[in-house]
Structure 1
Amino acid sequence: MSPPHVVRMELDWFGPVDRPPLATWFGTLFTDLLAPLCPASVDELVSVARDYFPSDTTPWGPPGYARLLLSSGDFSPAAWNAALSDLPSFLRVQLVQLDSQGLPLVDGGWSAEVVLKDDPEFPHQVVVAAARSLFGGWISHAVQQDWLTKLRSGAALVRASGGWITLDRAGPRTAHEVSAGVGIDESLFMAAELSRGPHWATLLGPRQVAALGGVQQVCSAAPCFAITDLGGGRILLQLTEHLDEVPEEAVVELTRFLRPVLH
């Protein structure tokens, strides 16, 4: 089996969120985490996207740049912020790095996405992925901390029910969901009660923490390198010190601990 080639971060939550702060957070997420991996600036990406017209050869967006997809079709930072702060019934915002043919890069690119809906029963998501190769073969401790910081701040902002950072092989389902044979729809709609798997960084929501015995129990018993109480019943578990050094036995131990809240 090929080694994991994507750094993936996801936050799942239900219910409303204050749109302007979310727009700001998503913008800084791109600027802080993804822009350093891309030769173009946000303004350049938006400029190219604004003048772009789909064709048979480049259906997704301008080659080598990003797609900023808004329900309004207006490619501008102002439109991006306005769409997030004034949410319609459904909104999908995507930034995707593309290859020379204008198709999304899978093994050698990055993407960021927000999926929102004005329905408290609908699972909302932030998904961020970057090819491991973009980090030059080595993901520094400082970069790993940047991703952890964004996960923590995002979890507080959206009152997340769960989330994670991990090295992955790409795909909407986690490695645990694939091994357990769980579909993505079932996982998303159960995200408040059940963790979507053990990861390098695993964010436990209030219901999951309660099912594991409460904040004190999780903080004292979780087999992890670092445990952070984020408040509001949310706890962030960091399995090992380094993202790309996660022994199988560490994953097994965390899986055993999380078993009451796993599919």
Structure 2
Amino acid sequence: MSPPHVVRLELDTFSVVDRSSLATWFGNLFTDLLAPLCPASVSELVSVARDYQPSDTTPWGPPGYARLLLSSGEFTRSSWSAALSDLPSFLRVQLVQLDSQGMPLVDGGWCAEVLLKDDPAFPHQVVVVASRSLFGGWISHAVQQDWLSMFRTGADLVRASGGWITLDRVGVRTAHEVSVGVGLDESLFMAAELSRGPHWATLLGPRQVAALGGVQQVCSTAPCFSVSDLGGGRLLLQLTEHLDDVPSEAVEALAKFLAPVLH
């Protein structure tokens, strides 16, 4: 079940990650970023799908169900650590608005989820999604900064090869990937060399920064509101001051700048 309008954060990496530190970061991400958005307690919002067996058609869980693929639903450091240890292939927590019968509200409801896809044969992905309706239709500057802060610390923790934050983009492929006809497999396998598109927040990995002329060159010439040096050759480009104010001409200018590292 995908909400119609979302804020989406994604990090892609090929690195081996300290799982204990990752568990702590996930716990902070949930309690600091997602839980404050939810107007009810966790126990009122989720049902546990402990017996669900993934299949080729529904790899992440039964469609249309509120689900919590974790241990007991206690969002503590120990439970996150146990979940990351017990579920090495993926970890998904999804909170959805439920009706009076405890069923997900498909129309007019809201959703918040956090996902770790950890496959040794494929780039790791960390994805955080919250439907726009959770924010009451307007995302404050303080909340935007919280998302950026979590994005920065996550990028450093997983030594990300790339990543992005955007608004109103539903689906596993980015708007750029859809527009140029690039499949997800190709994009993820090339994630270290090629950016997955221009976004409100675009993380450039070391190889992408080098291809654009290096840290100093990107910092001085990128057509963005701000450029942050995260260290390790990684740069975070913030296109505009506000997430919900991104003119098309600003996206086009960033796409032109990123052309050498775009599909």
TM class, shorter-chain normalised?
Answer: 0.7 to 0.9
Residues paired across the two proteins, number: 246
SS in structure 2 at match of 1:148: helix
Q: What residue in structure 2 maps to residue 25 of structure 1?
A: 25
The two structures, once aligned, show a CA RMSD in angstroms of: 2.7
Measured in 1, the distance between the counterparts of 2:24 and 2:69 equals: 17
Q: How does 1:121-200 map to 2 (within 5 A)?
A: 121-200=121-200
In structure 1, the residue matched to 2:58 is: none
Structure 1 counterpart of 2:5 = 5
> Which residue of structure 2 lines up, in the alignment, with residue 236 of structure 1?
236
Q: 1:221 to 1:102 in 2, by over 3 A?
A: same
- How do 1:32-181 and structure 2 match up within 5 A? 32-42=32-42, 44=43, 49=47, 60=62, 67-70=67-70, 75-77=73-75, 78-84=78-84, 86=85, 90-98=88-96, 99-100=98-99, 102-103=103-104, 108-117=110-119, 119=120, 121-181=121-181
When normalised by structure 1's length, the TM-score is: 0.84
Q: Distance in 1 between matches of 2:73 and 2:32?
A: 21
Deviation per CA, 1:131-156: give whole Å up to 9, x if none: 11110111000000000000000000
More divergent stretch after superposition (8-17 vs 103-112):
103-112
Q: Report the CA distance shift for 1:248/1:62 in structure 2 as closer, same or farther (over 3 A).
A: closer
Tell me the equivalent position of 1:214. Answer: 214
Distance 1:82 1:53, change over 3 A: closer
What amino acid maps onto 2:24 in structure 1? T
CA drift of 1:239 comes to: 0.3
Which deviates more from structure 2 when the two are superposed, residues 100-109 or residues 74-83?
Answer: 100-109
**Which amino acid in 2 is paired with 1:114?**
L
Q: State whether residues 60 and 103 of structure 1, in contact with CA within 8 Å, keep that contact through their aligned partners in structure 2.
A: no
**Is contact 2:68–2:95 with CA below 8 Å preserved after alignment?**
no
Going from structure 1 to structure 2, the CA distance change for 1:221 and 1:49 (only over 3 Å counts) comes to same
Q: Which runs of 5+ in 1 are unaligned?
A: none
Describe the SS at the equivalent of 1:187. helix
Q: Which runs of 5+ in 2 are unaligned?
A: 53-60
The Cα shift of 1:97 comes to 2.1
Q: Can you list the C-alpha shifts for 1:61-115, whole angstroms capped at 9, x where unaligned?
A: 997xx52214xx665443432232x366x42111112344645868621111011
Question: Secondary structure at 1:202's aligned position in 2?
Answer: strand
Q: Within 2, Cα distance between the matches of 1:177 and 1:129?
A: 19
Deviation at 1:50, TM superposition (A): 5.6
Partner SS state of residue 252, structure 2 = helix
Residues 76/140 of structure 1: CA separation in 2 closer, same or farther (3 Å cut): closer
Give CA-to-partner distance per residue, 1:143-181, whole Å, 9 cap, x none.
000000000000000000000111133100000000010
Quickly say closer, same or farther: Cα 1:52–1:103, change in 2 above 3 A. farther
